[in-house]
Structure formats: structure tokens, C-alpha cells
Amino acid sequence: MGWRVISVLVTTLLIGVNCDETTAAPERNSAWRQTGICRKCLCKDEKVDCFDQSLTTFFTEEEWADISELKPTTVDLSENLLVNVSRLAALPVQTLNLSRNAVERIDTAAFRELQALRVLDLSHNKLTTERLSPHAFEGRFSPEEFEPLGAMRVLNLAYNELHSLHQDLFEHLPELTELDLSGNPLTTLDHATLISISSLQMLKVLRMRDCGLTEIPDKFLHTPRFLERLDLSANSLTAVPQELDETKNLLYLNLNQNPIPELDMASEDHPGFPVLRKLQELHMCNMPALMSIGAGALAGLQSLQRLHLSHNPRLRYIDPRALARPDDIGETWDWPLVKEIYIQSNNLSEIDSRLLSRWDLVQVLEFSENPYLCDCSTQWMVDMLVPIVDAKNPNASMNMICQEPVEMRGYTMRHLHDIHRPMRCVDKYGHRPEKDGSILLGVLIGVLLAVPIMFTLMLLWRRGYFAWLGLRGPVDVSRAFYKRAPGDDNFI
């Protein structure tokens, strides 16, 4: 029994010691929770969350140093009223979100001590060309060594008030791979802006949506040779930029919402695409002016896998060989092996079977909401395309609806497929040959009825039945002009 009592006492002592340590630990390690930052923001799990706290003043370097024990990797200061960004203390922050404030100024070397910083979001602020200095991104510097912000990979400057960029703006960001300039009133890419972007030799993603661009200058895309994704949507481009041929590694291109009227390889003003051998995904949607895509206009996109051509209200023609290119010998044609194709909500009357070489290999097909002409030219869509579309997305062909000719309007291609309906060929000039028989039959019946009716009317007229209408027969007319000679023989 004695050893049992000793065991119980030892266990009790150990539990007491552990309880004391557990209780004391939070007191020793939670001092940073009482700092100015963590009283205003949520500090938890290596994150400082100050989202939408109505902050008007940036925290001091000393306040940032007070939370060093938290070792935050993410700091969210978005949706506040901050105007000036001052220097932060040395912290292991990897993501810093300052978006949707009223930031106008960034102090020199404000991020210098954030040596692990990878993502910096300054979007939706009030930064101007004059106030955004290259010194804002300075790293550590001493007479012996220069240390830029080498970990920085993503910089978001979208929706500020930048009409140009300082030519040395990114000199302290040599490893930057993603830059977002969307929504800035750049309009024309001047020489300083060209130099600044050209300095980003490691750039892979460039977003310039809604910048008012009317053209892309020569050599603009020459230096960023690793560029893979380019967004030029919602600008004022009226032609496909031929400078794209400088982007040898481009995989993704977005030209949505640009007023490009057509793609024609024979046109100098509106040519098709240059050769982009590695491009896999193209977006040309919501383009109000786009009417046609000519032969070979997309032939330079030899590795295209995803084609988005939707919601173009005036697009009524895509040439059957828009994607086709002659082979090296020039005897046959080659097509890219497209995996996804989206051509819904346009003004197309048909999808030509020659647009792709292997429809059976396409994984996603979307052709709904077009005013289809259901005739012999689109019979292949009913017979062959409908089963492929529905196999990938059940009942999707129910949204492929006939608009012309009138007698087919409202029918779905799925219904026509189910009833095995053969469709006639519409006359080139809009004539309706299927109605010729009815017209001829009507004319013949009319003639057959008109002859006896006219004969009867003539007979009745001759017999004077229409005298009450003032129409007298031939007998009455002849009597009216006859006058008997006088009986007097002496009449001279």
C-alpha cells in the first residue's frame, strides 16, 4: 500500500506542476495581444486582420515591432481610410493587403524590413504618377551591400490614378513575376512606362485591363520574354496587336470588350493574329463591334486549347478555315486540338463542321443562344453535333434553337435530332421553292373557276339581266340606234 500512496503523491505533484506551466504560458506569451495593433485588429494564427476597421492612421514602426512574437505572415489592412503608408518593422510578412484605402503617399523604404514579402496589394487607392516613387520599394542598403526586395513576386497597382510610370519604378523589384496596372488612366504608353515595364525581365503575368489603350507600341513586349498571361480587356483597341508576336511564351490572352470590328488576314487595318505557337487560351467576348472572323485569322494559334468567343451581338460569320493553317508542304490543313470551345450568345446562323478537325475530342462545347438557320447546311449539327454536345453536358442542345426559316422557328436541335427530321435547303436568294407547288395549284384552281364564272356573266349580260345596273345587252343597244324610215314616198 505504501508504494501506491507514493505513486499518487508523485502524480498529483506532476499534475500540479503541469497546470502551473499551462496557466503561466499564455501570460508569458500573450503580451503582444495587448499592443495597440491587436487591440484594434484580430491577431490570430499568424495573421493580423484589420479589415474594415475605419483606420485613418498607419501604425508606427514601434507598434509593428510589438507584435514580432506573433510572427505574422499575413497582414490585411484593406477597406480602411489610410492615406499614408509609413515604415513597417522587421516581420516575416509574406502578404500585405492595403487595397481600398485612400493611400496617396508611401514613405521611402516603407517595406524595407519585410524581407519575406511576396504579395503587395495597393489597388483601389489614390496613388499618382508624381507621388509613387521608386524609393517606396527600396530594400536594405549599405555601402558594402545592396539588398532589393528580392522575395517580392506580386504587385497590384490596379485602379489608382497613374497616367504614367516612373522609368525606375521597379528597379528594387528584380524578381517580380506578376503586375496588375488595370484601371489606371494610362491611355498611351509613353517612353518612361515602356522602360519601367521592360525592366521586369522575370514578368510572367501582366494585367492592363481598362487602361484606355488604343494601341500597343513596338517593342513593348520584347523584354519580358517569360510572359505567360496578358490581359488587355476593356480597352479601346480596334485591331489585334501585331506586337504580340514578341511574346514567345504567351499561354493566355484576354481581348474581351475591345471594339475590334473584324479579323481579316488580307486587311492592314484589322489583321488576324500573328503566330503565337504556345498560346493555349484566347478570350474575345463581349465585343460590341466584332462582326466576322476570316479565313486563317486564328491560324497562328497552333496550340490553342480553349477558345472563348461569346456574347458578341454582331458576330455573324466565322470562316470554316478560321483556325486552319496549311501544313509545311501546303497540300493539307492542320488544326489545333481544341479542348474547350465557347461560342454562345452571338449572331451566328450556323457552326460549320470544318471549323475543327476533331469534334469528338472537344471536352466542353457551348453553342447556345444563337439565331440558327435550320436547313440542309446545319443538318450535320442536328445529326452529329447534338449527340456530342449532350454527351458532355446533358440537354445542352435544348438551348440550340432554330430561328429561320419561319416554319422551323422555335424548334430545338435536340427535338429535330430525336424525330430524325431532314431539313430542306434554303434558296440562295430567299425564295421558297417548297411553296411553288401550292402557288401553282392555287393559280390552276383560280383559272378553272374563273372560266365558267366569266361565261355565265357574259350570258346573263347578253340577255339583259344587268339592265337595272345601266348595263344593257347587245340587242338593246342595237335597237336604240335603229329608226324606221318615213312612210311618205315623197320624202326626200
Looking at residue 12, what is its pLDDT? Answer: 47
Residue 139 has a pLDDT of 87
CA dist 232 and 208 (Å) reads 5
pTM of the model: 0.81
Strand, helix or coil for residue 38:
helix
Non-local (6+) Cβ contacts of 403 within 8 A are: 349, 371, 372, 373, 409
Task: Work out the pLDDT band at 3, boundaries 50, 70, 90.
Answer: very low
pLDDT over 90 (residue 28): no
pLDDT higher than 90, residue 142: no
20: confidence class by pLDDT, cuts 50, 70, 90: very low
Question: Quick check: 129 pLDDT over 50?
Answer: yes
Q: How many residues are there in the chain?
A: 492
**Percentage, residues of the chain above pLDDT 90:** 70
**443 pLDDT above the threshold of 50:** yes
Is residue 430 predicted with pLDDT exceeding 90? Answer: no
Set out the domains of the chain in order of their start, with CATH numbers.
Answer: 32-214 (3.80.10.10)
Residue 433 has pLDDT above 70, yes or no: no
Q: Given a cut of 70, is residue 471 above it in pLDDT?
A: no
pLDDT for residue 477 is more than 60: no
| pLDDT-based confidence at residue 436 (cuts at 50, 70, 90) | low
Residue 488 has pLDDT above 60, yes or no: no
Q: For the chain, what is the mean pLDDT?
A: 86
Query: pLDDT band at residue 332, thresholds of 50, 70 and 90?
Result: confident
The reported pLDDT for the residue numbered 289 is 97
Choose the weakest-confidence range: 8-12, 145-149, 255-259, 312-316. 8-12
Percent of the chain with pLDDT over 70: 81
Instruction: Report which of 163, 199, 194, 160 is spatially closest to residue 180, judged by C-alpha positions.
Output: 160
Q: How does pLDDT run across 381-417, given as a tens digit for each residue?
A: 999 999 999 999 888 899 999 999 998 999 999 999 9
Q: What is the pLDDT of residues 347-370, one digit of tens each?
A: 999 999 999 999 999 999 999 999
Residue 325 dihedral angles phi and psi, to the nearest 5° = -135, 145
Range scoring the smallest mean pLDDT among 151-160, 367-376, 429-438, 456-465: 429-438
3-state helix vs strand vs coil in the chain, percent to 5: 30, 15, 60
* Between residues 319 and 435, the one the model is more confident about: 319
Q: How far apart are alpha carbons 194 and 199 in whole angstroms?
A: 9
